[in-house]
Structure 1
């Protein structure tokens, strides 16, 4: 009888070990798949957000340089602001804290640009040779890009 139980126990232990190994491999594969999916979604949100900020920057600078048709351009800028704000909400839900903080800094610089276009008479001109509002937005975007790259695990200069 013992001669029959030992091989049977070996088969049961082997089947259990095989099942556990397969389950662990499947779980790891699922986690990798989900991580890739969320990284792709985060990157899409980051690109959409920065695209809207850049469009706002270009239009805002155009309004400040040449105030012709301010109502039409301002309406376009306000529409872009609504889109940027919606993109930021998605970003805040998906991004890591450092990237979210960097995006908040971008938002503050964009708000300064919007104020300047809404009330050009109340805006202080930049100091001679100093950074413009646009330069401040670009600097904040560069910090955002660096934080987003770190959050996505992208190291600069390394081949993929």
Structure 2
């Protein structure tokens, strides 16, 4: 047999080898990308959830200080000196977690998170005694609630969580509004 007689078989072996190598490479690359995306989705979920918990704790401290300053709709007053120290610690934790948020968050979620913590800072102005009007406190809580809803809407979208977002936690809640005779429910507290 001559070389020319064996050439079609040799070309077939080379083409088969190249095809097999290409298919294996593409499959492995796709598997690696999918695995990396899953790891980052999990990490983003953890960071978003952690940021929400830390900010919620900071908000709760501000609300408890607001209760001490006799703002409506919150209970469980906290001594001013103790509360201010807790608020400073909570802000330090939030600021540290913010760096992770900036690293892994998409632009819309980072923007929503920034709005949420800025509304928290606004509420803290009341908690610290730098603002004192009761109507302003209620508006600050309402804006804070809307910012929180927007953060979770953006985070869910970034994480690819299907379905409508959970119902809004509009704050203050309807059950906290004054009764027709002007009395309020004594058992009101923040979520």
Q: TM-score, normalised by structure 2?
A: 0.75
CA-atom RMSD, angstroms?
1.7
Q: Is 1:90–2:100 an aligned residue pair?
A: yes
Alignment correspondent of 1:127: 135
Alignment correspondent of 1:57: 59
Higher relative contact order (CA 8 A, sep 6+): 1
- What is the CA deviation profile of residues 68-96 of structure 1, one whole-angstrom value per residue up to 9, with x for unaligned ones? 52111111111011111111111011111
Which of 46, 49, 66 is the equivalent residue of 1:47?
A: 49
Which of 4, 7, 12 is the equivalent residue of 1:5?
A: 7
Using the TM superposition, give the Cα deviation of residue 7 of structure 1 relative to its aligned residue in structure 2, in angstroms.
0.4
Residues 68-87 of structure 1 mapped to structure 2, 5 A cutoff? 69-87=79-97
Whichever structure has more helix as a proportion of its residues is: 1
Residues 98-117 of structure 1 mapped to structure 2, 5 A cutoff? 98-117=108-127
Q: Is 1:155–2:162 an aligned residue pair?
A: yes
Bigger shift: residues 90-99 or 67-76 = 67-76
How far, CA to CA, are the matches of 1:50 and 1:89 in structure 2?
14
Using the TM superposition, give the Cα deviation of residue 124 of structure 1 relative to its aligned residue in structure 2, in angstroms.
4.3
Using the TM superposition, give the Cα deviation of residue 134 of structure 1 relative to its aligned residue in structure 2, in angstroms.
2.8
Paired positions, count: 154
Which of 143, 151, 155 is the equivalent residue of 2:150?
A: 143
How far, CA to CA, are the matches of 1:46 and 1:115 in structure 2?
25
Larger Rg: 2
How far, CA to CA, are the matches of 1:9 and 1:18 in structure 2?
14
Maintained 8 Å contact 1:57/1:137: no
How far, CA to CA, are the matches of 1:22 and 1:6 in structure 2?
24
Q: TM-score, normalised by structure 1?
A: 0.89
Using the TM superposition, give the Cα deviation of residue 3 of structure 1 relative to its aligned residue in structure 2, in angstroms.
1.8
Using the TM superposition, give the Cα deviation of residue 126 of structure 1 relative to its aligned residue in structure 2, in angstroms.
4.1
Alignment correspondent of 1:34: 36
Question: Structure 1: where are the runs of 5+ without partners?
Answer: none
